[in-house]
Amino acid sequence: MRATIIHGEKDIRLEEVPDPRLVSGQDAIVRVVASCVCGSDLWHYRGIASSAKVPRPIGHEFVGIVEEVADGVARVKVGDFVIAPFYDCDMTCANCRNGFSTSCLEKGDWGGEDHWGHPVDGGQGEYVRVPHADGTLTVVPGGAPSDDLVPGLLTLSDVFLTGHHAAVSAGVTAGSTVVVVGDGAVGLSGVLASTRLGAGRIVAMSRHAPRQALAREFGATDVVAERGVEGVAAVKDLFDGIGPDAVLECVGTKESMDQALRSARPGGQVGFVGVPHGEPELPVRRMFSTNVGVRGGVAPVRNYAEALLPEVLDRTIDPGRVFDLELPLADVAEAYAAMDERRAIKTLLRP
């Protein structure tokens, strides 16, 4: 089959690799219908998160059709249309049952290894072996959906539910005042998630017109273009001089976290999902004096997927709007370049 391999900084290639086959009794083989490029893939692409060995398969968001299942797979059937989270998990261990499948005691990573040390395919390819398929995969009821629903379903693999996790972690609820730091696909998803949770006012921090426009479509009531000290001042001004209840940190730099912490009102909460880079250790004295809490991390999307799936299927929400570029898998290198150069918010790939 063909699969995407990262060879180093800005070196993404589609290559011929062996077809996956069942390894354990809990595996399934999924034929990928759509995959995409994640903001966190770009850290690797830019050589910033370079601890992982190259060359290796890449990509961790995909939806597809189950082609084959091992003997021990009971819930997932051949022919099912399924959504994979950006990791694999058993959904039976204590952490999965607590709602944090990202800390599954048998977790594995696409493009890396499963819990038992067997290689696992990346998501940006034609087929993927899925460990403990009954835990990992969300089955879309009714079989293959209409084609226009595929982008929205694909966002349940990571991006929309990561934005949702930021909002949940920040404690967004009916009437909340919210600021979203970051206008990438995750930040925009955080706007939509906050709208869905009933937020009363949502400020998108963005200085890019197309992203501002999508933020407003997703429910942002205000847009603030300033950053840093000026951004904090502008946000405080919007909320009685004290700041909003909730801030969604969707970038992962020291600057963005600092801006988030300074923006929240006393007793407010920062929900963070940006993968931390640049050692942004948190200023505990500031948190102490202001009672601003910090909660979040790698989003347990598998725990959220089934609850939000019906709203995508019945078109109550359209999180797939974050995809503004669609390319064939053969053009995967361009998919990365377009996002890296901010020509695209998020790129969808079809094998």
Interacting span for a copy of itself (CB under 8 A) from 74-82, 210-218, 238-246, 322-330: 238-246
Rounded distance between C-alpha atoms, residue 74 and residue 240, angstroms: 55
Which residue from 18, 285, 314, 341 is in contact with a copy of itself, where contact means CB under 8 A?
285
39 binds a copy of itself (CB under 8 A): no
Interacting span for a copy of itself (CB under 8 A) from 15-23, 43-51, 91-99, 119-127: 91-99
218 binds a copy of itself (CB under 8 A): no
Distance from the Cα of residue 101 to its chain's centroid? 14
**C-beta of 93: minimal distance to a copy of itself in Å?**
9
Rounded distance between C-alpha atoms, residue 82 and residue 65, angstroms: 6
> Hey, which residues between 144 and 173 contact a copy of itself (CB under 8 A)?
169
**C-beta of 256: minimal distance to a copy of itself in Å?**
12
Which residue from 48, 213, 229, 242 is in contact with a copy of itself, where contact means CB under 8 A?
242
Q: How many CA atoms lie within 13 A of 211 on its CB side?
A: 26
Angle subtended by helix axes 185-196 and 159-169, to nearest 10: 60
The smaller minimum CB distance to a copy of itself, of residues 272 and 323, is found at 272
User: Cβ of 340: how many Cβ atoms within 10 Å?
Assistant: 15
The smaller minimum CB distance to a copy of itself, of residues 221 and 253, is found at 253
Q: Phi first, then psi: what are they for 250, rounded to 5°?
A: -120, 35
102 binds a copy of itself (CB under 8 A): yes
**C-beta of 164: minimal distance to a copy of itself in Å?**
14
* Residue 274 near residue 249, CB atoms below 8 Å: yes
The smaller minimum CB distance to a copy of itself, of residues 187 and 300, is found at 300
Interacting span for a copy of itself (CB under 8 A) from 6-14, 145-153, 281-289, 311-319: 281-289
131 binds a copy of itself (CB under 8 A): no
* Residue 347 near residue 338, CB atoms below 8 Å: yes
**C-beta of 52: minimal distance to a copy of itself in Å?**
15
Which residue from 294, 309, 317, 339 is in contact with a copy of itself, where contact means CB under 8 A?
294
267 binds a copy of itself (CB under 8 A): yes
Using a 10 angstrom Cβ sphere, with 0-12 exposed, 13-18 middle and 19 or more buried, the burial of residue 116 is: exposed
**Tokens of residue 75, six digits:** 């819930």
**C-beta of 199: minimal distance to a copy of itself in Å?**
16
Q: Which of 79, 143, 104 is nearest to 303 (CA)?
A: 104
Bridge partners of 79, per DSSP, are none
Rounded distance between C-alpha atoms, residue 53 and residue 176, angstroms: 43
272 binds a copy of itself (CB under 8 A): yes
Nearest-5° angle of CA 3, CA 306, CA 251?
A: 60
Q: Which amino acid is at 226?
A: E
The smaller minimum CB distance to a copy of itself, of residues 71 and 240, is found at 240
User: Cβ of 140: how many Cβ atoms within 10 Å?
Assistant: 20
The smaller minimum CB distance to a copy of itself, of residues 55 and 278, is found at 278
**Tokens of residue 174, six digits:** 């009916």
**C-beta of 102: minimal distance to a copy of itself in Å?**
7
Q: Which residues bind a copy of itself (CB under 8 A)?
A: 94-95, 98-100, 102-103, 169, 240-242, 257, 265-267, 269, 272, 275-276, 280-285, 287-298, 300
